[in-house]
Structure formats: structure tokens, C-alpha cells
A = this chain, B = another copy of it.
């Protein structure tokens, strides 16, 4: 378990120390649950009054809270407390981590023509194919599968039983969670006499640097070209990315999003959970799509977009939904009334 002096943490985070720097904290906790041995943070000013009640030994907060912080045993004043908190968790996790010994677990099945960097780690029962590359300091979890020619860049952290298909590549410092499938076939068929003729998917998947991919998410290989995920993209769990999709740098998608084939998504976009993007659309940079919204046509202007049926108690919903099915005729009736009154 990590523990740290508050003055050391303040220095680490580049903040201004208030109160007793020699105080030691042993855990990070939410403000309302924190005790004397804990460090907490306040980011949203809406919750500022929690500062009066907290029992935390140390709180990270913005300069605006300086007054309330003064009564605490200690505090760290930072311009961006949420960012400071993020960096604190990174330091904390690094302290708590059991060191991973480099090398290939004896139970792994690694092809003679794979290139595993001597500083990389390949976990128990992993399978690494011919021509696959595992970069410096990268970690492949247990049961990972890298097919022929797959590549994990330097310092990648690939979780247990991740599948990376033939010729698919990840850049540096990617984090991939358990159950992810990168490079399964895209969904492509030509209809022929009532049957579906398979279009073999000859492209691959190219993933940039600093990408994180959540558990059981799937990214399909392209039909001819590659499917491309830009630098710094963050994907949550159970997301489906169809073949030939392109996602620009820094875009983030919450859980259960589905993006159909050949959609082109810009940089620095965000997608709420369960949003669906139809195929062959274009979405420009800095578009924000609300949860569960279905994007049925291209979005060519930055902004926030939504489209969700407002939920209600069941009786009210049933009435409104039933009326909705006559909406067009209601409009016609309204028009007729207006006309008759002119």
C-alpha cells in the first residue's frame, strides 16, 4: 500500500502546499468518505460546501477554495484539481503495482519468427504468431493472442485474453482491456440469389499512440483499406467499430456505442453511451453526441447533438407514444384549422 507525505505530493503535482506538509496520507478517497489518513479532491465548485464537512487529512482544490481549505490539516492548491487528481492516481497506481518481470512465461506459445523485445512481458498461455512484434516494455496479458504480423508498440499494456488479428498494429503506450477483439472480419456480403456471398476482409486495423480500449470492445478489419483509430482515442467497453471506420485523434466514446462501416469521425469528438452512428457518414471535428442518440446523417458542424425519446411513467408514455403515431395527421389538422381561420 502506498503512503506519502503531503509535501512530497504537493511537489509532485506542482501545487501550493497549505498546512502541515509532514502529514502522511495512506489512501485516496472521495471527499465525503475521506478520513484523517486520506487525500481527497474537489473539482466541481458545485460541491464546495463539502469542504466544510470533510474529515480528509488533505484536499486538492482550486485557488478559489483557499479560504475553506485553510481550516483543514493540509491542502494542495492546484489550478486544475481534476488533472492533479488524475496525476495523483497515476503515481499511486505506479507505487501499488507489483513489478512485472520481463520475459515470456514458459506456458506461452511464441512462434520462432515473432519478435518480442527483451524488456517486454508475455503472460501465461499467450499465443504470439509468426512475424508478430511486441515492443519495448510492452506487456501481453495471459491468454492474449497476437496473430501473424500483429504488432503491439512500446510500453503497451494489453490485458488478459485480448485478440489482435493478423497484421493489425497498435502504436505506443496503448492500453487494451480484457476481451477486446481487434481485427475480426468486417461485416461484408454481396447478395446473390437469396444468399450472402462473403466479401473477404483484406484490410487490417491501425491504431495510433496512447489509445485506450475497453473490455470486450470490437474493432473490425477493413474490407480493402484499413480501419484507422487516431492517437489518443479512448473507447469504453462493449463498443463496436465497423470496418473502414476512421476515428480522429482524441475522440472519446462511452460504453455500448456502435459505429457502422465506413463512417468517418473527426477529432476531439465525444459520444455518450449507447449512441449509434450509421455507415458511410461523415462527422466533423468537435462534435458531441448525447447518449443513446442515433446519428442517421452526416454532421458537418461542431456542436452538441441529441435524439432520445424522453422517458416518462409508463401511462404517460403510452399516451404520448400513441399520439406520436398520428403526429403527421395532427399537423395536417392544425394546418386546416389555420387556413379556415384566415
Q: Which residues of A contact B (CB under 8 A)?
A: 28-30, 33, 80, 82-83, 85-87, 89-90, 92-93, 96, 98, 105, 107, 109, 123-125, 127, 130, 141-143, 145, 147-148, 159-161, 163, 165, 175, 177-179, 181, 184-185, 187-190, 192, 194-202, 210, 212, 214-216, 218, 220, 223-225, 232, 234, 236-238, 240, 242, 250, 252, 254-256, 258, 260, 268, 272-274, 276, 278, 289-296, 303-314, 316-328, 330-331, 333-334, 337-338, 340-341
Contacts and interface: CB of A to CB of B under 8 A. Distances in A.
A223 B86 CA distance: 10
B334 A324 contact: no
Contacts of A324: 309-310, 320, 324, 327
Contacts of A142: 109, 127, 145
Nearest to A260: B273
A145 B161 CA distance: 9
A142 B109 CA distance: 10
A54 to B, nearest CB: 14
Contacts of A290: 314
Given A160-B145, A311-B296, A254 B250 contact: no
Contacts of A190: 80, 82-83, 85-86
12 contacts: A80-B190, A82-B190, A175-B198, A178-B184, A216-B218, A240-B273, A255-B260, A272-B278, A304-B314, A305-B317, A307-B309, A334-B334
